[in-house]
């Protein structure tokens, strides 16, 4: 089975079919895992800790298996305190949990993973384990063995290594014990292994002795040292060990623990190694000589112990010492002369080759521990004996990127015709700081948090800088904004509203006539004199070669998931745009899919993640390691370049409006435009012969037909198939719902036509990869509440397609955070009533309302009247007076329904 684990917005873990090729899990084991998670998240984590799934798992399963086994290892380490302490086992320290979060691999719902969730899951796991252990017939210790045979307490063998400061020649002592029984104080009692020989030999209970020695024998198969202890019977007596003997034991501890032995070692080896002298490489102590990804970071190389530089005599002493353990400054440290010399030689050579510093990209990879494109074996060896740290300047810079509220040198909002919310202020500060540094930025805020207004304020600041210090900052270049054609109208409206001082040109047929576009292409330098911003669409970048000839200041991509397919012609064209700085905007969690992440970063920070082949090889190596912390380096590498805030953040929730309405513009496909034009022409012809009631009926039926054509040609033609490519509204719906699906949010889709509800549901099922629900006039009354309960449930269907009249009242659908009006009702009050199905008492989400409008059609005229002339709209479009539309003159009516072919068919 191909499975992966996702995190739901409610903080539950679910096992779902994997979206891409991942390691396969045996069917029986996979079915057990699915069933366990369906019962509860804690039950699923317990099942995940068992060995039955195999050792090669998808990355998301590896991460959660590591978390579950982390918990069980903590339980097993409570041996001295016994079962009474299980129910109060605290979650690990916040710092440790933060490290787990930072090392998580890509998975759906990764944005919902935080310290709070891990703490809650630890508690749920603890409660479930305690309940099951109490109910187990043979007691808690036996229960642990049912989860994993390696986990047991009673009868478990423990190896102890301790310092023996009274013997300089043999400064370590070894002892093997076993847990004999639980005392009256609920503590495990240890006895030397020699006592086990006496006890079981005396009772002739060889079976128990064999059982006790089973983990020792497994360890002997793995560890030569244990094999020697067992064959020589030294295991059954205390041993005094030399430094090399103790070091050999310490290096083989992981092999012993894998076999089921408990190993107790001195505190200084708790992390499976002693302190080490390391080659300390410090990057960026001084400001970079130049900014950007090509900027050079100074670095120096020293030999240090715990950040304290070693003096020359100490260095000589270490490099001359024997391998293993050595006493330095009164403490035991680990020494490997060959590895230490190799690391020192490597970094000193690099220092000599790059006397001016190393480039920013290489420095960030080193700092993150993500050797993309490098020799993994060499890099791993070096990382063990090297420590890369940020110098003073780089530390301050990275801290400002992590906490933009600390950037005090810039005050946003001075020229903006609006008041920024506090998180938007931080966002503009971050964007400004990133672009001043010459670094690419990814603003990945949730939909509805105002990415548009943050960009407008940044552009206003650049306009101010352009006049103030253009010569020194190089910010005299024009900025370019690339958006899906369906969002051009939204951007035009927001730019005019919030940044009216910006001089903007629209390189698109929907907003600019053909003659002006031809002049712009012929001589962009002259045409763009004094312009602050050019706005165009993704499809035009591919065809308008002049866009690649201009040296842009910033190139900004809205809905940047449009370039996630790195091999498409559109993506390749966009990546050719020359720019001083690059910004990508997306509402989709970018770290959830590695292919998308690489393509976005290949645009905004080219080279940081290597070539596509290098990145693929790097990820393959991460997966091969089957390590729960494997992705930590990659996450650390990209984190400074991504700013993502979520609507669920407690610091943001109070600032959110209860409801946000926006117009979603759509064009017409060629087939739609042809049918629309024919319908208008037929209306014009028939109006000449119609009058009275016949004319009234003709007008109403034509208006209905035009709305059907705007929805999909198949609806108007009453065809069975609804090819998505034939409707721009279907394309717009897909663009809107992809990030909603990624965030596992829910959406209501309203239409006034029952005939299109099923085709919409079938199409949305391909977007969400899950079926949804449909409600229309033909739905039985009894079934309506069942559908509502199903939609409202956590993990329930992600979308609900509803005919407007059937769903206009009586339904409470607060699980939805998005409402789509696929076609416009003549009366806005009816739309608002439908919207209120999601925005009801009990709604805890900010509801986004998207009203679809086809440019250059009757839908746009209706929308304009509703928005700009509400009084007239109420009079003309009131539900009771809808037929007043028929009383327009022929000339007025034909103008009202006419097709603006340039606006309607401008490339999406």
- Asked if residues 153 and 179 have their Cβ atoms less than 8 Å apart, the reply is yes
CA 856 to chain centre: 38
Q: How far apart are CA 504 and CA 501, in angstroms?
A: 9
Q: Are strands 479-483 and 188-192 parallel, antiparallel or unpaired?
A: unpaired
Say which residues have a Cβ less than 8 Å from residue 806's Cβ, sequence separation at least 6. Answer: 754, 775, 776, 777, 779
Radius of gyration of the chain (CA): 34
- Both tokens assigned to 287: 């400001």
Say which residues have a Cβ less than 8 Å from residue 253's Cβ, sequence separation at least 6. Answer: 263, 265, 269, 272
Residue 685: its pLDDT value, please? Answer: 92
Q: How far apart are CA 10 and CA 904, in angstroms?
A: 41
Instruction: Give percent of the chain with pLDDT exceeding 70.
Output: 90
Q: How far apart are CA 364 and CA 359, in angstroms?
A: 9
CATH homologous superfamily for 659-905?
P-loop containing nucleotide triphosphate hydrolases (3.40.50.300)
CA 644 to chain centre: 9
Rounded (10°) CA dihedral 419, 423, 428, 433: 150
CA 835 to chain centre: 29
- Asked if residues 441 and 579 have their Cβ atoms less than 8 Å apart, the reply is no
Q: How far apart are CA 615 and CA 596, in angstroms?
A: 12
For 702-752, the DSSP string reads HHHHHHHHHH-HHHHHT-S---GGG-HHHHHHHHHHHHHHHTT--EEEEES
Coil vs helix vs strand at 333: strand
Question: Which of 515, 524, 527 has the alpha carbon at shortest distance from 544?
Answer: 524
Give the containing element (helix H, strand E) for 299: strand 299-305
Burial class (CB in 10 A: 0-12, 13-18, 19+), 762: middle
Residue 469: its pLDDT value, please? Answer: 55
- Asked if residues 801 and 773 have their Cβ atoms less than 8 Å apart, the reply is yes
Q: How far apart are CA 480 and CA 547, in angstroms?
A: 9
Say which residues have a Cβ less than 8 Å from residue 849's Cβ, sequence separation at least 6. Answer: 659, 660, 661, 662, 818, 819, 821, 835
Mean pLDDT estimate for the chain: 86
H helix intervals, 206-278: 206-222, 224-231, 243-251, 253-258
CA–CA distances in Å: residue 462 to residues 469, 472, 836: 10, 13, 41
- Asked if residues 549 and 474 have their Cβ atoms less than 8 Å apart, the reply is no
Residue 809: its pLDDT value, please? Answer: 56
Q: How far apart are CA 511 and CA 506, in angstroms?
A: 6
What's 106's DSSP letter? P
Residue pointed to by tokens 């097993």 = 76
What's 348's DSSP letter? H
Residue 722: its pLDDT value, please? Answer: 96
Give the containing element (helix H, strand E) for 675: helix 670-687
Sign (positive or negative) of CA dihedral 125, 128, 134, 139: negative
> Which residues of the chain have a pLDDT value below 50?
80-81, 154, 183-186, 376-378, 471-475, 841, 872-873, 879-881
Q: How many other β-carbons are positioned within 10 Å of the β-carbon of residue 586?
A: 26
Q: Exposed e or buried b for every residue in 322-354, given b needs 16+ CB within 10 A? A: eebbbebeeebbbbbeebbebbbebbeeeeeee
Q: Exposed e or buried b for every residue in 695-724, given b needs 16+ CB within 10 A? A: beebbeebbebbbbbbbbbbbbeeeeebeb
Residue 853: its pLDDT value, please? Answer: 93
CA 95 to chain centre: 21
Beta partners for residue 5, in sequence order: 15
CATH 3.40.50.300 intervals, the chain? 659-905
Q: How far apart are CA 586 and CA 482, in angstroms?
A: 12
The tens digit of pLDDT for each residue in 457-485 reads: 999 999 988 766 554 444 468 999 999 98
Class of domain 403-655: alpha beta
Q: Give first-to-last CA distance, the chain, whole Å.
A: 39
Helix 376-384 × helix 337-353 angle, to 10°: 110
Say which residues have a Cβ less than 8 Å from residue 179's Cβ, sequence separation at least 6. Answer: 79, 153, 154, 155, 156, 158, 188, 189, 190
CATH 3.40.50.10810 intervals, the chain? 403-655
- Both tokens assigned to 803: 């005919």
Residue 843: its pLDDT value, please? Answer: 57
Residue 202: its pLDDT value, please? Answer: 63
What's 556's DSSP letter? E
Q: How far apart are CA 672 and CA 675, in angstroms?
A: 5
- Both tokens assigned to 878: 């009131």
Q: How far apart are CA 553 and CA 582, in angstroms?
A: 9
Spatial strand order in the sheet of 818-821: 659-666, 847-854, 818-821, 747-751, 799-803, 773-775
Coil vs helix vs strand at 555: strand
H helix intervals, 369-487: 376-384, 392-402, 422-437, 451-473
């Amino acid at each position: 089975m191909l499975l992966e684990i996702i995190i739901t917005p409610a903080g539950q873990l679910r096992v779902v079919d994997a979206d891409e090729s991942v390691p396969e899990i045996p069917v029986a084991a996979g079915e057990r895992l699915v069933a366990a998670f369906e019962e509860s998240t804690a039950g699923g984590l317990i099942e995940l800790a068992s060995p039955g799934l195999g050792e090669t798992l998808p990355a998301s399963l590896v991460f959660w298996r590591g978390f579950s086994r982390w918990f069980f290892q903590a339980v097993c380490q409570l041996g001295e305190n016994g079962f009474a302490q299980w129910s109060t086992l605290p979650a690990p320290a916040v710092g440790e949990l933060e490290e787990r979060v930072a090392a998580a691999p890509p998975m759906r719902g990764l944005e919902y993973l935080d310290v709070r969730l891990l703490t809650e899951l630890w508690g749920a796991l603890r409660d479930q384990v305690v309940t099951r252990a109490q109910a187990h017939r043979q007691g808690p210790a036996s229960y642990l063995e049912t989860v994993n045979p390696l986990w047991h307490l009673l009868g478990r063998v423990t190896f102890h290594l301790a310092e023996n400061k009274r013997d300089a020649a043999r400064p370590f002592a070894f002892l093997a014990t076993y847990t004999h029984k639980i005392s009256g104080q609920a503590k495990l009692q240890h006895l030397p292994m020699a006592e086990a020989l006496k006890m079981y030999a005396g009772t002739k209970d060889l079976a128990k002795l064999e059982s006790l020695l089973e983990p020792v024998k497994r360890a002997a198969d793995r560890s030569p040292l244990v094999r020697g202890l067992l064959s020589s019977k030294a295991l059954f007596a205390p041993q005094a060990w030399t430094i090399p003997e103790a070091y050999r034991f310490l290096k083989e501890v992981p092999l012993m623990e894998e076999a089921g032995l408990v190993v107790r070692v001195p505190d200084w080896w708790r992390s499976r190694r002693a302190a080490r002298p390391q080659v300390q490489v410090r990057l960026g102590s001084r400001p970079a000589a130049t900014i950007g990804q090509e900027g050079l970071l100074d670095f120096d190389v020293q030999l240090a112990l715990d950040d304290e530089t070693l003096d020359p005599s100490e260095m000589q002493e270490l490099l001359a010492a024997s391998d293993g353990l050595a006493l330095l400054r009164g403490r035991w440290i680990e020494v490997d002369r060959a590895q230490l010399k190799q690391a020192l030689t490597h970094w000193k050579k690099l220092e000599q080759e790059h006397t001016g510093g190393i480039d920013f990209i290489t420095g960030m990879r080193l700092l993150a521990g993500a050797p993309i494109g490098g020799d993994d074996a060499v890099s791993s060896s070096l990382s063990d004996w090297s420590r890369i740290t940020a110098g003073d300047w780089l530390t301050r810079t990275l801290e400002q990127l992590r906490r933009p509220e600390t950037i005090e040198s810039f005050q946003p909002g001075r020229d903006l015709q609006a008041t920024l919310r506090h998180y938007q202020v931080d966002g503009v500060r971050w964007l400004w700081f990133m672009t001043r540094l010459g670094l690419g930025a990814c603003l990945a805020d949730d939909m509805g948090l105002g990415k548009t207004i943050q960009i407008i304020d940044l552009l206003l600041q650049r306009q101010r800088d352009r006049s103030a210090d253009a010569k020194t900052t190089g910010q005299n270049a024009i900025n370019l904004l690339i958006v899906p054609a369906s969002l051009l109208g939204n951007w035009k409206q927001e730019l005019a509203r919030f940044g009216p001082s910006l001089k903007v040109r629209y390189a698109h047929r929907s907003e600019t006539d053909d003659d002006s576009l031809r002049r712009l292409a012929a001589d962009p330098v002259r045409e763009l004199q004094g312009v602050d911003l050019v706005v165009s669409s993704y499809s035009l970048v591919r065809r308008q070669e002049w866009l690649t000839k201009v040296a842009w200041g910033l190139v900004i991509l809205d809905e940047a998931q449009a370039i996630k397919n790195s091999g498409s012609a559109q993506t390749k064209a966009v990546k050719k745009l020359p720019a001083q700085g690059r910004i990508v905007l997306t509402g989709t969690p970018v770290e959830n899919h590695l292919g998308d992440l690489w393509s976005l970063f290949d645009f905004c920070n080219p080279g940081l993640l290597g070539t596509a082949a290098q990145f693929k090889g790097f990820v393959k190596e991460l997966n091969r390691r089957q390590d729960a912390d494997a992705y930590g380096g990659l996450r650390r590498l990209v984190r400074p370049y991504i700013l993502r805030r979520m609507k669920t953040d407690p610091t943001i929730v109070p600032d959110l409006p209860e409801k946000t309405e926006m117009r979603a513009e759509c064009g017409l496909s060629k087939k739609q435009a042809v049918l629309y034009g024919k319908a208008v022409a037929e209306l014009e012809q028939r109006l000449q012969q119609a009058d009275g009631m016949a004319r009234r009926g003709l007008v109403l039926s034509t208006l209905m037909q035009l709305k059907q054509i705007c929805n999909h040609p198949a609806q108007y033609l009453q065809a069975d198939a609804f090819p998505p490519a034939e409707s721009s509204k279907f394309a717009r719906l897909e663009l809107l719902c992809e990030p909603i699906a990624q965030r596992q949010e829910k959406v209501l889709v309203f239409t006034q036509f029952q005939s299109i509800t099923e085709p919409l549901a079938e199409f949305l099922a391909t977007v969400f990869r899950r079926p949804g629900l449909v409600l229309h006039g033909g739905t039985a009354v009894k079934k309506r509440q069942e559908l509502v309960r199903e939609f409202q449930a956590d993990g329930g269907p992600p979308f609900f397609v509803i005919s407007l009249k059937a769903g206009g009242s009586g339904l409470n659908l607060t699980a939805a955070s998005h409402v789509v009006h696929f076609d416009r009702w003549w009366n806005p009050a009816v739309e608002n009533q439908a919207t209120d199905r999601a925005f009801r008492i009990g709604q805890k989400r900010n509801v986004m309302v998207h009203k679809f409008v086809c440019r250059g059609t009757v839908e746009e005229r209706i929308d304009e009247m509703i928005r700009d002339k509400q009084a007239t709209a109420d009079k003309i479009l009131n539900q009771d007076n809808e037929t007043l539309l028929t009383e327009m003159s022929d000339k007025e009516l034909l103008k009202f329904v006419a097709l603006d072919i340039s606006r309607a068919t401008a490339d999406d």
